Amino acid sequence: MKMRDEYFNKKNFFSLLLFLFVILGITGFSMKQSKKESSVKITHGNIIFEVNSALHTRISSSFPDSKTVMDKFQASENITIDNRVISNFELKKVQESTLDGKLSGREWLAKGIFEEDGLKLVKNLKLTAYDDFPNLISVEVKYVNASKEDVFIDGWINGNYQILPQGDQPPFWAFQGSSSSSRSDWIKPLEPGYYQKNYMGMNDSDYGGGIPVTSVWRPDLNIAVGHLSLVPELVNLPTEMLKDSKVVIGVSNDFAHRTLFKAQDTITTLETFVSVSKGDYFENLAKYSELMQEKGIKMVKPEEAAFEPIWCAWGYGREFTMEEVVNTLPKVKELGIDWAVLDDGFQVAEGDWEPASDRFPEGEDAIKKLVERIHGYGLKAKIWWTPLAADPGSKALEQNPQMIIKKENGAPQFITWWDAYYLSPTKEETVKHTKDILDLFLNQWDFDGLKMDGQHLNAVAPDHTLENPEEAPKGLPDFFHMIYNEARKIKPNAVVENCPCGTCMSYYNMASTNQTVSSDPLSSWQIRHKGKTYKALVPQTAYYGDHVELSDNGSDFASSFGIGAVLGTKFTVPSSSENEEAEKFLLTERKEEVWKKWFTLYNDKMLSKEEYIGNLYDIGYDKPETHVIKKQDRLYYAFYADFWEGKIEFRGLENNTEYRIVDYFNKVNLEHVKASQPFLDVNFKEFILLEAVPVGK
């Protein structure tokens, strides 16, 4: 009997051990489980985020028809210490908690340990799923130096994912939010061997900043990463396509100098995120902006006057005369344009904004009279200005030399394009100098709006005259917010345009402008995809397509019109002066007929104020390229291709509603369509603009 009892006690004991082992395995807290298995699994909307026992991660999607994203767990969050990448941590504990308040949700904290050769690190991986933002997981990591000795950090990276292709050509498209002197496309197809660092600081003497998001997509799925800091950060968002067409993305901080990591100290990464969506980059970018606004970014309200069409005197160049500008105003009014812009060339120098004597021999009185003439035609007046720039030898710098940003070696930070010095945006002297200029332009001279211009506006370099040099780039958005508030205090309906020539505009600067712009586009393609980007991030903004003369063939109004952009031009009229620049943009009789048609159509439809529906068509894979604007119960479709002959599809139609299709540019009625039969055969060159009107209305 005793032997039998001992047998059953042993059997029960081993059964209990087996039971505990199974339970521990299921709940994910077995320290001996395979690194291939999931210890934490979060499903939030259609994103599935897993963490294994080495604190490696894996992303997958539950969207219908979406294919494998990663074939294995990856060391997506790691730190480099003493030139050694530390990526394998032994999972010790996972805690889950609830987030209450405005940004409610769930939070997971996974703690892991790395210990080897006297180095001991604790990794605390915090994962957050916000209730109102499905398909997105935010990631923040705290590293603790639990060693007895100090070490040096070289950098860290979050969201370092290697994503599988699916064999399509091209296998990936990408949105990359950085800026460079090449003024390259923000959206492009990727090829094997491609690499772009996407540094968010200064990339050249004049260029830097941008949107801290990278979004890559295949026909079945889009994956985006970025950071959620409320100020600009000097980090990278590198994009690389390997030889096997896998794409590598991430958010990395490569320290400019090796940083001492003292024993028992903690270093915290930025809060980064990964999100998934169907289609192109539009939804992921929109989701990012909505979350940033929930976290504290405040976008300004739209201004009615910002949607009105624009004429700019830049067609006459810097050597314009008063006569040329004044003589153009009647034609501006006749074409249905509401704004006249006095552009570069009126000033003594960058920094010294008094009127140049050769252009305005009567001084400030001549400027005031010009504004009176503009207002006399019922037009609004805008003035060109390049803040944060002052020429060497200018009075502004003679009086306040401390405004200049200085490099680490003590040399002034130079703006190559303007042959000027950068001004530090957080210094009191710079702020006062800027407020005085605003009073001059909007109060004393009576202009109605500002055209702030220059690629250097997008970011500034660290200012080494400050105790914390990064105070300058991080404080830049506050500088522009000051300009916006001061301008609107003087003129409550002032239009404040920010035109950071050719750059991918800093997301943080978007919060203090009520008119964004395609900003010196190199092609019509740039006008359209920049428009889609702005409408994802700031859907209420007045997006200005810039001078139509910068589009393909210098006359592609359709690209601005179909994307819902404000129309603008810099045409010139015959003049007695010998101005070779102005000859390029003369409004001939034929051009006037075309210009009149487009501006009349723009004022009739005013699609720039309406809702852009950005998730219906994939700008990379869907052909022809298509954009849609909804105005009440009507849908406006813009199709683009060099040449198209075949079917087009009308997405977004209401069920059980029949629509008549109108080519409203050519005033031609086409066939009827409905959601169950949304196709139509057409042929066109360059563009076709179609209106879907519910039958009976």
Query: Over the stretch 533-550, which tens digit does the pLDDT of each residue have?
Result: 999 999 999 999 999 999
- Reduced to 3 states (helix: H, G, I; strand: E, B; else coil), residue 340 is strand
Per residue in 280-318, pLDDT (tens digit) is 999 999 999 999 999 999 999 999 999 999 999 999 999
Residue 262 is predicted with a pLDDT of: 96
How high is the pLDDT of residue 581? 83
Measured CA to CA, the distance from residue 470 to residue 668 in angstroms comes to: 58
Q: Say how far apart CA 672 and CA 291 lie, in whole Å.
A: 40
Cα angle 533, 386, 337; round to 5: 65
Query: What is the rounded end-to-end Cα distance, in angstroms, of the chain?
Result: 94
User: How far, rounded to the nearest angstrom, does the alpha carbon of residue 550 sit from its chain's CA centroid?
Assistant: 21
pLDDT number for residue 21: 39
- Residues 593-618 have pLDDT tens digits of 999 999 999 999 999 999 999 999 99
Res. 11: pLDDT tops 70:
no
pLDDT digits (tens, 9 = 90+) for 505-530: 999 999 999 999 999 999 999 999 99
pLDDT band at 121 (very low <50, low <70, confident <90, very high): very high
CB proximity list for 501: less than 8 A, separation 6 or greater: 183, 417, 453, 454, 455, 519, 520
- Stronger pLDDT, 34 or 30, i.e. the higher one: 34
Spatial distance between the Cα atoms of 496 and 516, rounded to a whole number of angstroms: 9
**What pLDDT does 9 receive?**
45
Query: pLDDT tens digits for 33-88?
Result: 445 677 999 999 999 999 999 999 999 999 999 999 999 999 999 999 999 999 99
Are 108 and 96 a contacting pair, CB within 8 Å?
A: yes
pLDDT tens-digit series, residues 609-650: 999 999 999 999 999 999 999 999 999 999 999 999 999 999
State the pLDDT at residue 13: 40
Residue 578 identity (one-letter amino acid): E
CA distance 276 to 137: 9
pLDDT at residue 170 tops 60: yes
pLDDT at 12 over 50: no
Relative to beta strand 634-649, strand 566-569 is unpaired
Would the pLDDT of 168 be above 80?
A: no
Select from 75, 77, 44, 36 the least CA-distant residue to 61. 44
- Tell me what pLDDT residue 20 has: 37
383 three-state secondary structure? strand
| Three-class secondary structure assignment of 427-484 | CHHHHHHHHHHHHHHHHHCCCCEEEEECHHHHCCCCCCCCCCCCHHHHHHHHHHHHHH
Query: Average pLDDT in the 206-227 region?
Result: 97
In this prediction, residues 558-579 reach a mean pLDDT of 93
Q: Which helix (H) or strand (E) holds 60?
A: strand 57-61
Residue range 455-495, pLDDT digits in tens? 999 999 999 999 999 999 999 999 999 999 999 999 999 99
pLDDT at residue number 169: 83
**Cα–Cα–Cα angle for 551, 554, 556, nearest 5°?**
60
What pLDDT shows up at residue 7?
Answer: 36
Q: What is the mean predicted confidence (pLDDT) over 350-379? A: 95
d(CA 407, CA 472): 12
Asked if the model's pLDDT at residue 23 lies above 70, the reply is no
Kindly give the pairing relationship between strand 266-268 and strand 272-277: unpaired
Average pLDDT, the chain: 93
Region of 101 on the Ramachandran plot (φ > 0 left; ψ -120 to 50 alpha; else beta): left
Residue 5 is predicted with a pLDDT of 43
Backbone angles phi, psi at 303, to 5 degrees: -120, 125
DSSP line for 144-190? EE-SSS-EEEEEEEEEEEEE---S-SSS-EEEE----TT---SEEE-
Please state the rounded mean pLDDT for residues 6-33. 38
Residues in the chain: 697
Q: Is the CB of residue 343 less than 8 Å from the CB of residue 312?
A: yes
pLDDT of residue 681: 97
Predicted pLDDT of residue 35 = 55
Name the pairing type of β-strands 380-385 and 339-342.
Answer: parallel
pLDDT of residue 632: 97
pLDDT at residue 31 in the model: 34
What's the pLDDT at 565?
98
How distant, in Å, are the alpha carbons of 336, 337, 567, 571, 602 from that of 330?
10, 10, 18, 13, 19
User: pLDDT tier at 575 (50, 70, 90 boundaries)?
Assistant: confident
User: Considering the chain, what percentage of its residues have pLDDT values greater than 70?
Assistant: 95
User: pTM of the full predicted structure?
Assistant: 0.93
Predicted confidence band of residue 29 (pLDDT cuts 50, 70, 90)? very low
With helix as H, strand as E and coil as C, how does 109-128 read? EEEEEEEECCEEEEEEEEEE
Tell me the pLDDT tens digit for each residue of 400-427. Answer: 999 999 999 999 999 999 999 999 999 9
Band (30; pLDDT cuts 50, 70, 90): very low
pLDDT tops 80 at residue 15:
no
Instruction: Give the contacts of 685 (CB within 8 A, at least 6 positions apart).
Output: 642, 643, 644
